[in-house]
Each structure stands twice: as C-alpha cells, then as structure tokens.
Chains A and B, each alone.
Chain A
Amino acid sequence: MKADPIGVATGSYYIDGDHACAEGAIAAGCRFLAGYPITPSTEVAERVAERFPKVGGMFIQMEDELASMAAVVGASWTGTKSMTVTSGPGFSLMMENLGLGAMMETPCVVVNVQRGGPSTGLPTLTGQADMMQARWGSHGDYEIIALSPNSPQECFDLTITAFNLSEQWRVPVLFMMDECVGHMTEKVVIPEPDEIEVLPRKYYQGDKESYRPFKFNGAADLAPMIKAGDGYFIHITGLTHDERGYPIINAEAQGKNVSHLVDKIRNNVEKISIFEEDCIDDADVVVVSYGISSRVALKAVEDARAKGIKVGTLRLVTVWPFPEGRIQQLAGKVKSFVVPEINMGQIVLEVERAAKGKAKAILVPHAGGWVHDPDDILAAIEEGAA
C-alpha cells in the first residue's frame, strides 16, 4: 500500500532527526501518539502535536511514560498505528508496558532518543547505552526489533520501516536514535506519497466463532488482528494465554506462548535484519557500529585505509534481532571486529558471542556526553589488524 498523501509533506527540508522522525511517523500512517516530555526526544512530540490536528491524528500528552506506553498499546488495538517517544528515565518507565505490548503481540513504535545515563545522567548529551535495555529491558523472555538510524534522512525513512516491521511481526519496534542524530540538522528529502511503501495491518476476515487472535507457531504467518469494536468480543491479556487469548497458568501454556514470542523473531532474523557492509571482501578488520558512532568510525576507517590496513565496515541498521549468522560467517575470515559504541560495552558482547572465539572483538568504549575521538577507533583498528 502507498502512503496516504495527507500525511506526506513531500519536499526537501533542512531539519533535525527528531523532526524527521515525526514526519516519518506521519507519513507511515501513524495517527496516535501518547507521550511525556523529555530531552532530547521532545521535539518529536512537539512536531506531532503541531501536525496531527491537520492530518486527522490524535496526540495526547500523558501524565507519565507508564501511561504513555499503556495508552499506545490500547490505541493500537483500535486499529490505529500508534507510537510513543521518550529518552533515558522515560524509557525505563516504559519497560513494564513494552512487555505488555510484546505479550499482546501489538504493533507499535517506541522512539528512544538516547542520552547519557544511568538515572538522570546527561539530559542534553548523547549516549548509546540503552541498547541492551532495548533488548532485555522488560522482565521475562521475548524478542523485539530495534533500529538505529544514523542521519536525519534515516530518521525519516526508517521510522516508516519501523511501523512496517511492527505490523508485519506484530511486535513493538524500538527506534533507537541518539541525541546526536536527533539534534543533527541535515537535508531530508520527503518523497512523493506513491514512492512510500506502507504496510497496512493484516485483518481477519471470516466468521467470528473461529477467530483466534494468536497463532503460536513461531512462524512468519502471524494471526491476523481485528479491532476493538468489530464485534468479535476478543479477550487480550498480559497473562500467559492460549491462542484464544484466554489466560492459562501452567508450564505447558507458557512453553507455547513464550516460544512463539521468541521464535517468530529468531526464526526470521534474515527476513528482518538490515545492515550495510563496505569493503568487507578482503578485510582483516571489520568495524561493527550503529547510529552516530557509525559516522564517526568512517573517519577512522579512512585513516586506517590510508595506512594500508584492510578494514571494512558493517553498520547495523536493525540492531535487534542481532545478525548473529553474518558475524559468524565473517568471523571465519577476518582477524577482528572493532566495536565503537557510546557505552561501556554492550553490542560488543553480541559480536563476541557470535564470533565464538574465531575473531577478536575489540570494544572502543565511550561513557557518553560526546562522540568518540576517531583516533581511538583508529588505534583499535590497528590493534585488530596486528
């Protein structure tokens, strides 16, 4: 399906990542946003608050992030594409009902413009230290999809991808920006509506009696949804449930329910994963990065090549699910991976796990507040090539 023209502000703009993200959401057909102000993500909500009344959308500023996330899950069950936006402590508060969204297999998008933590940390300065929280933040076992844009243009494009993925996989999709990308102003081109591919929700059509809101087969053909108010009298719960949505409190039901939540993503990593590679073929060292760090790393890669080091890059566009298989393949060929990230070591652990000792994984940490010095990344590349 093509984007509804009413939400697409076709043109060429000079805007920051937060604003581009808001435009991406509106273009994707999002018409419900519940949020609570927090730096550095507030601009997304502000732009939506201004634009929604003119495109038939519903914006509500809730009393906190617990409420925001709960409202988004509720709104999504009315059939409206829904999102929320937050940073830092707000992301922590969303974890409870992010789990609800995962358990209820509810499509929605959660934008986290990352800042430095823990706690109130660095409200106005960058960080990438919520990457593991994105994966594991709510209690219990589930899988999630997370994307990490590295430019305002991607904040537009990938927000649309995030909505499409959430509909396709019936899962909350986390849009893991960082303060740098959020506040970076660059040229953003918003294409014509008929150039924007939007995935509509898959609805059930059939008799009401045989409708099942869930299908626990861990496969890509997920149960189609219906909307509240359609007369199906659905029951949807955060408790462990069966395919009818009815609570069942025992180990067998848990096995079926949770395996499905995990398998529908794990069995389809290839279909979901998006990453970009460059100069991989003859590389001794591969720099694995995401978000703003992938742009800082380019300078280090350039310098390393100038020094004759065979270095390639792998940029994670979807960080979760992690492209374990690809890293495993590369691990047989390259000497080492260099992982610069604005945290004290998160995604590097995934790289290390996937490499299974066949290649080194070298972390270039940064505690947050600013981006890496490219020379630090260069030093790690040199170490990895040695």
Chain B
Amino acid sequence: MSETEQEFTETLTIPPPEEDLHHPMEQYLRMERLPHIWCSTCGIGTIITAFISGLQKSELDREKVAVVSGIGCSGRAAGYLRLDSFHSTHGRAIPFATGLALGNPDLKVAVISGDGDLVAIGGNHLIHAARRNINMTIVCINNFNYAMTGGQAGPTTPLEANASTAPYGCYEFPFNLPYLAESSGAVYVARWTALHIRRLTNAIAEALLKPGFSFIEVICPCTTLYARRNRLGDGLDLMRFYHDNAIIRHGADTREVDIGFQDRIIVGKFIDKEKPTFLEKRDQYLKSKLGEQFIPYKGPNDGH
C-alpha cells in the first residue's frame, strides 16, 4: 500500500451543495415532484439521467421537445421531466405522440415507456409508427416484465424466467425488439443497458437528431419484482450482470440479438439508415401529384 493510499483510510462526508448550487439536471426535472416513485436500485432513474444528458448533448431547443409516456413504472418518466410532457393511456403513447408530431411538425417527440406498454398493448402502434417513419424517438425501457402491476409476464419475458403470472416460469417465446423495430421500418435501432450510460446518452442524442423513427431498447433492472422473483439479487447485481454479459456488437444482425434468461446481451447500434420521414414523403408526394394545389400542413391554424 503506498503512502498516498494510507491517507484514505478515513472516510469523509460528501458536502451538501451550498444553497445556490444545484444538481445540473434539476432544471430538466420537475423538482417539486421528487422524490420519484421508483424503488431503490431500480434503473429507470438512471435512464432518465441519460435522457436528459442526451437531450443536452443533442443541443435541441428543449421548448420544441415533447415527451410522451404510457402507463407503467417506466411510463412515469414523462411526469418528472421539465419539458412539455404527456402521460397518456396504457399502450397509446405512440399514437398520442403521432398526434403531437404531425400536429406540430416543429416538435421532436420522444416516447419513454415500458416494454409491456410499447410492445404488448401498444405493439400494433409501434410497428405502424415505424412503418410510416414518423419523426419520433422511442426509449423502450425493457425490464422483462409488467412491473407496475406486480411483475406479470409480458412480451419480453425470457423463456423460463419467473413472473407472477408465470409462476412455473415463462414458456412463451419473447420478442426480439431490435429485430421487430428494424423489420417494421425504424431508421435507427440500438440497444443498451442502464449500465451503459455514456453510450446510451450518445445514442439518445443521435436518435433525437435523427429524422424519422428511432428506437432504443434499454435493458433495465427491476429490483422489486423481476430480480426478486428470479432470485437475481438487487439492481446492483443486475448491473454487474450486464457488465459481465453485455457484448458490444455495433451493426449486429438484429435477427441474432434475441435475449435468453440470464444469457448474454448483445448491445450496440444496430441500424442507422436514411429514409424519408412520413412528413417528407407525404409533402413531396402530394406536391408531385397536386402541384400548386397542394398546401403543406403548417401547424395550428388559428393565428397563434
């Protein structure tokens, strides 16, 4: 042990910030609503910090960014972000966001919601928004279960994982989300875990700047339900698991990135391609058919 290290045997208290010092993310948070509802060692809060950093990094005008969530633990995300934020119904975040994105083409709309919300009850909306290439960014928080309602099995629960409605383990085949998003037409597809905060931050910034439908799956610890039922320890143990089992493979064939129970997790940026957005395609097409008769949609029409 070197001399320098010996000096560190006594721990010091970290000072609280002086009054005029604030956590750098506070201006992006609805501080009056904190503390948030998420359990200790849940990863959703970490994903929110990555979202805020990604948004900052994108340098988008935050007044022109709206966020929409559905219902679930993950679906509470919109409620804590100091942006125009909408908390819609279970599964309908994407169509609600479609209304916002088409209603005001100057907005960049981000949807932050859970795997159950976006892929089970909202699955049809997901694939159609991707097919149309609506200009929006999806952050799909995948904790492998329906957490909010008590840890039931869902469309991403891996085979054999235990869930409250799969008490003997899950025997349904799960979705492979990047493959689903890619084959539906998404122009940007990535997967990270809550541990990969810097890469996730970069992905969020990239996706927000990408015109069209971008999809980021974030593997996230659900401590209280998924981890507990499957005896996986707490969120920190899951983070350690991600550390040991995540394999970064940019450009991987999305057909090969499916996830098994406590199996390796392939992460990375899988898809980043160019395609006209719904609005670009619409305007260009209608213009070609209608010529001067075509009047592009310009947003709210009553002089405001």
User: Are the chains A and B members of one assembly?
Assistant: yes
Binding site for B on A (CB under 8 A): 1, 4, 6, 29, 31-32, 34, 52-58, 60, 62-64, 66-68, 70-82, 96-97, 99-100, 200-201, 203, 227-239, 246-247
Closest to B99 in A: A74
Does chain A have a CB within 8 A of B248? Answer: no
A30: min CB distance to chain B, Å: 9
B56: min CB distance to chain A, Å: 15
Q: Which residues from B are CB-within-8-Å of A76?
A: 99, 103
| Beta-carbon contact of B84 and A234 below 8 Å | yes
Q: Which residues from A are CB-within-8-Å of B98?
A: 34, 60, 62, 67, 70-71, 74
| Beta-carbon contact of A228 and B301 below 8 Å | no
Does chain A have a CB within 8 A of B124? Answer: yes
Q: Which residues from B are CB-within-8-Å of A77?
A: 86, 99-100, 103
- Residue among A31, A67, A68 facing the most chain B CB atoms (10 A cut-off): A67
Q: How far apart are the CA atoms of A52 and B102 in the complex, in Å?
A: 14
Known: A201-B304, A238-B89. 9 other contacts (CB 8 A): A62-B128, A66-B92, A70-B92, A75-B102, A78-B299, A80-B300, A228-B66, A232-B84, A246-B30
Q: Which residues from A are CB-within-8-Å of B84?
A: 228-230, 232-234
Chosen A-B contacts, 26 in total, with CB atoms closer than 8 Å, are A4-B301, A53-B286, A54-B295, A55-B295, A57-B297, A58-B103, A62-B95, A66-B92, A70-B88, A70-B96, A70-B98, A70-B99, A71-B95, A73-B96, A74-B86, A75-B100, A78-B299, A80-B300, A200-B302, A228-B84, A228-B86, A228-B100, A228-B104, A235-B30, A235-B85, A237-B87
B227: min CB distance to chain A, Å: 26
Q: Which residues from B are CB-within-8-Å of A63?
A: 124-125, 128
| Beta-carbon contact of A78 and B300 below 8 Å | yes
Closest to A241 in B: B87
Q: Which residues from B are CB-within-8-Å of A53?
A: 286, 290, 293-295
Question: Given A78-B299, A79-B304, A237-B87, are A32 and B102 also a contact pair (CB < 8 Å)?
Answer: yes
B88: min CB distance to chain A, Å: 6
| Beta-carbon contact of A71 and B295 below 8 Å | no
Q: How far apart are the CA atoms of A217 and B82 in the complex, in Å?
A: 26
Does chain A have a CB within 8 A of B231? Answer: no
| Beta-carbon contact of B104 and A79 below 8 Å | yes
Closest to B294 in A: A53
- Count B interface residues, CB 8 Å: 48
Q: Which residues from A are CB-within-8-Å of B294?
A: 53-54
Q: Which residues from B are CB-within-8-Å of A227?
A: 104, 300, 304
Question: Given A53-B286, A53-B295, A235-B79, are A29 and B103 also a contact pair (CB < 8 Å)?
Answer: no
- Residue among A55, A64, A237 facing the most chain B CB atoms (10 A cut-off): A237
Q: How far apart are the CA atoms of A247 and B78 in the complex, in Å?
A: 11
Closest to B93 in A: A70
Q: How far apart are the CA atoms of A216 and B143 in the complex, in Å?
A: 37
| Beta-carbon contact of A239 and B87 below 8 Å | yes
Q: Main SS of the interface on chain B?
A: mixed
Does chain A have a CB within 8 A of B35? Answer: no
Q: Which residues from B are CB-within-8-Å of A236?
A: 85-87
- Residue among A62, A70, A239, A247 facing the most chain B CB atoms (10 A cut-off): A70
Closest to A68 in B: B95
Does chain A have a CB within 8 A of B120? Answer: no
Q: Which residues from B are CB-within-8-Å of A233?
A: 82-85
A193: min CB distance to chain B, Å: 14
CB under 8 Å from chain A, chain B span 271-304? 286, 290, 293-304
Question: Given A56-B296, A72-B99, A233-B83, are A228 and B107 also a contact pair (CB < 8 Å)?
Answer: yes
Q: Which residues from A are CB-within-8-Å of B128?
A: 62-63, 67
Closest to B290 in A: A53
| Beta-carbon contact of B107 and A56 below 8 Å | no
| Beta-carbon contact of B100 and A70 below 8 Å | no
Q: Which residues from B are CB-within-8-Å of A31?
A: 297, 300-301
Q: How far apart are the CA atoms of A72 and B103 in the complex, in Å?
A: 9
Q: Which residues from A are CB-within-8-Å of B296?
A: 56
Q: Which residues from B are CB-within-8-Å of A80?
A: 103-104, 299-301
Of all A-B residue pairs in the complex, the 9 with the closest CB atoms, nearest first, are: A74-B99, A78-B103, A79-B300, A75-B103, A67-B95, A75-B99, A71-B99, A237-B87, A231-B63
Q: How far apart are the CA atoms of A92 and B91 in the complex, in Å?
A: 17
B160: min CB distance to chain A, Å: 32
| Beta-carbon contact of A56 and B100 below 8 Å | no
Question: Given A54-B295, A238-B89, are A229 and B78 also a contact pair (CB < 8 Å)?
Answer: no
A57: min CB distance to chain B, Å: 6
Does chain A have a CB within 8 A of B207? Answer: no
Instruction: Produce 1/0 per residue, B160-186, CB < 8 A to A.
Output: 000000000000000000000000000
Q: How far apart are the CA atoms of A162 and B267 in the complex, in Å?
A: 51
B272: min CB distance to chain A, Å: 26
Q: Which residues from B are CB-within-8-Å of A75?
A: 99-100, 102-103
Choice from B82, B91, B96, B295 contacting A74 with Cβ under 8 Å: B96
